């Protein structure tokens, strides 16, 4: 119980500090008033009169000095140089969710290679004393090393951008390239699982017209426009207006007539229109 109350007191903010920070929201109009009340300056306001009672203004050495600048509330321009702007950091990219796995010989070999690499880089950058005193974690800590091994197992690190996305590790490009080279040397990763797409410019060749052949504006010009009835053609003679069955009936009908050919055609069409041909065939 005593431990809980102690932790609670440590988390609570002191009342004077709370008033000093949030003076604008506590009804006070001056930050100096917080110091005035907290340190009980009212009790010493008349001490200079006691020190030198013969003088009307009291002791010149003990008299409180009225400052020319009060606080940031009354004189905000005087404290403009103290204003700090906290820049909003860009949001870190979301790293991949990795499934649990059991480390194999390649993962253990990669872990040992990264440990040797960070020892070497610590000596090159900071010196041998830092390797002994601070350990190689100044270059790469253990959590980053474990994350690199996990991502390498799942083939998530292929280029520098992947290393920054998955690990969120602030490292320069030269060191990042060395780390990626170690990863690919022990756990080879295909940079492209399939052949990359190749972009080809569109053909701008214009078909030259051939003399003696009719030219068409488009392939769609051979098709009839929408809403028009398709013209029926005969499969025997290729002429429009009738079909092969029409010619067969006409040949049978024309042999039974003694009229000229043109008159037979007119008579045949007239009979078809009025249904006389079927009647004649039945007879």
Residue-wise pLDDT tens digits, 164-177: 899 988 888 999 99
Distance separating alpha carbons of residues 4 and 12, to the nearest angstrom? 13
Q: How far is CA 18 from CA 13, 14, 24, 31, 34, in A?
A: 6, 6, 11, 11, 10
Q: Give the position of tokens 């950058």.
A: 125
Judge whether residue 221 has pLDDT over 90. no
* pLDDT for res 65: 80
Q: How far is CA 204 from CA 1, 19, 200, 201, in A?
A: 85, 76, 12, 9
pLDDT in tens, 4-46: 566 666 677 788 888 888 887 877 678 888 888 888 877 777 7
DSSP string covering 180-241: HHHHHHHS---S-SSPPP---PPP-PPPPPPTTS---S-GGGGSPPTTSPPPPB-TTT--BT
pLDDT in tens, 174-203: 999 999 999 999 998 776 544 555 555 655
Q: Give the position of tokens 């007239």.
A: 270
Residues 84 and 93 sit within 8 Å (Cβ to Cβ): no
Judge whether residue 276 has pLDDT over 80. no
Q: Quickly state the pLDDT bin for 282 (edges 50, 70, 90).
A: very low
């Amino acid at each position: 119980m005593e431990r809980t109350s102690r932790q609670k007191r440590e988390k609570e903010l002191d009342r004077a500090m709370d008033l000093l920070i949030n003076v604008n929201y506590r009804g006070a109009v001056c930050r100096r008033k917080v110091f005035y009340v907290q340190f009980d300056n009212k009790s010493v306001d008349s001490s200079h009169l006691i020190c030198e009672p013969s003088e009307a203004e009291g002791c010149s050495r003990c008299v409180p000095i009225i400052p020319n600048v009060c606080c940031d509330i009354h004189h905000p321009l005087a404290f403009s140089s103290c204003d700090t702007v906290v820049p909003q950091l860009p949001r870190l990219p979301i790293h991949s969710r990795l499934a649990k796995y059991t480390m194999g010989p390649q993962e253990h070999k990669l872990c040992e290679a990264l440990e040797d690499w960070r020892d070497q880089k610590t000596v090159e950058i900071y010196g041998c004393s830092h390797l002994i005193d601070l350990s190689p974690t100044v270059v790469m800590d253990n959590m980053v090393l474990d994350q690199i091994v996990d991502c390498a197992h799942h083939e998530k690190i292929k280029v520098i951008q992947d290393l920054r996305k998955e690990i969120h590790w602030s490292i320069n490009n030269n060191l990042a390239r060395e780390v990626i080279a170690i990863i690919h040397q022990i756990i080879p990763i295909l940079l492209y699982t399939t052949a990359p797409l190749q972009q080809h410019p569109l053909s701008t060749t214009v078909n030259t017209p051939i003399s003696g052949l009719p030219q068409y504006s488009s392939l769609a010009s051979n098709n009839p426009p929408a809403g028009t009835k398709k013209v029926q053609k005969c499969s025997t003679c290729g002429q429009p207006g009738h079909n092969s069955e029409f010619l067969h009936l006409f040949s049978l009908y024309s042999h039974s007539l003694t009229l000229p050919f043109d008159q037979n055609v007119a008579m045949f069409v007239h009979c078809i229109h009025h249904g006389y041909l079927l009647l004649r065939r039945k007879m």
